[in-house]
Amino acid sequence: MIKNIGQKIYAWVDERFELSPILKFMSEKNVPVHRHTAWYYMGGVTLFLFITQVVTGILLLFYYRPGADSAYESMRFILTEVNFGWLIRSIHSWSANLMVFFVFVHMFSTFFTRSYKKPRELTWLTGFVLLALSLGFGFSGYLLPWNELAFFATKVGTDIVGVIPVIGKPIMAVLRGGEDVTGATLTRFYAFHVAMLPAIFTVILFVHVLFVQKQGMSEPEGFSKNKKTMPFFPDFFLRDALLWMIVLNVLLFLAVFYPWDLGFKADPFSPAPAGILPEWYFIFMFQTLKMIPAHVLFIEGEVLGILSFLVAGLAWALVPFWELKSKRKGFSNPMNIIGIIALVYIIIMTIIGYTS
């Protein structure tokens, strides 16, 4: 009976929109099977966490009130009065962190498996933009509870933008909504976080996924000699779904047993508290800025540090266009060495940031 109705609905839609070619494409879609296949799942996990962000973010919007006099209070209301408010907020915070983590894993796995090579240069580039937008999500969302840590993290973060020669100061004023971090900054970050960034992110994500669908999964070098694949539907899809369930369980475990703290309300006229740290994914930059001396030759340390990160980020985004070609494998391949240096630098600086 239900099957019959389903078939009828399908026939009705198919008659009007020709679904058959889409179904044919999906049924013929294959995923290469080799020792690096596990990395194919990382993009899917990131997508799942993004969906979690959208759902929990929309729920939080029902109670959150932006503004220097209302943001912190509304967050406290969500955490203490609203049914499961603490859980929704905690899932939102944890999934944001996990999402950034998986974006990094996805990016480094793409880098080390050379999946960015021709013809996938634009997939890499759109992926890099998604990484930047994810960091933007994290940075803008961090301020919304209007607590002490977020206030100073935003002061430092936006001041970093202001250090960029010529264009820095006007961009900083636009980000802050004035000269200083105030309630106006909070309103702007709210607009970035809930409207602007999601709109841009969704469009670029669509393009990114479209590229992957059009070009198929990247195959490692020498794969064509001993080709082994699995159908996307249902084999890969079910494995993907299983992993999503595992991630959801991990997420719930973290949200329930390690709920996110609200901290103290921001006071623009109190000193920065001791032990202040930004989100973990900014720590390597934070620690670098802390370690660079006040002046390096004729240039101010902070300017040097920030410009170096800008150049490094740009070079990383354009990797497919300047890749050092080499037939060497493992640690002797120059691109592997570059990737390992970047990864080790990030890890070591993060550890120093937390322990010093």
Among residues 24 and 295, whose Cβ is nearest to other proteins? 295
Among residues 173 and 335, whose Cβ is nearest to other proteins? 173
Rounded to whole angstroms, how far apart are CA atoms 31 and 231? 6
8 Å CB contact between 236 and 230: yes
Placement of tokens 């030759």 in the chain: 297
Taking the complex as a whole, the smallest distance from the CB of residue 176 to other proteins amounts, in Å, to: 8
Taking the complex as a whole, the smallest distance from the CB of residue 101 to other proteins amounts, in Å, to: 24
Is residue 186 classed exposed, middle or buried when 0-12, 13-18 and 19+ CB atoms within 10 A define those classes? buried
Q: Distance of alpha carbon 119 from its chain centroid, rounded?
A: 24
Rounded to whole angstroms, how far apart are CA atoms 75 and 146? 9
Q: Which two tokens stand for residue 127?
A: 């992926």
Among residues 252 and 277, whose Cβ is nearest to other proteins? 277
Among residues 308 and 326, whose Cβ is nearest to other proteins? 308
Q: Are strands 295-296 and 299-300 parallel, antiparallel or unpaired?
A: antiparallel
Taking the complex as a whole, the smallest distance from the CB of residue 286 to other proteins amounts, in Å, to: 8
Among residues 210 and 276, whose Cβ is nearest to other proteins? 276
Q: Residue 295: which region, alpha, beta or left (left: phi > 0; alpha: psi -120 to 50)? A: beta
Taking the complex as a whole, the smallest distance from the CB of residue 266 to other proteins amounts, in Å, to: 11
Residue ranges that bind other proteins, judged by CB under 8 A: 152, 155-156, 158-160, 163, 170, 173-174, 176-180, 184, 268-276, 286, 289-290, 292-295, 300-302
Taking the complex as a whole, the smallest distance from the CB of residue 222 to other proteins amounts, in Å, to: 48
Among residues 250 and 291, whose Cβ is nearest to other proteins? 291
8 Å CB contact between 320 and 120: yes
3-class DSSP state of 277: coil
Among residues 292 and 343, whose Cβ is nearest to other proteins? 292
Apex 78 CA angle, 72 and 84, nearest 5: 155
Instruction: List all residues 6 or more positions away from 113 whose beta carbon is below 8 Å from its beta carbon.
Output: 36, 39, 218, 220
Taking the complex as a whole, the smallest distance from the CB of residue 343 to other proteins amounts, in Å, to: 24
Taking the complex as a whole, the smallest distance from the CB of residue 99 to other proteins amounts, in Å, to: 26
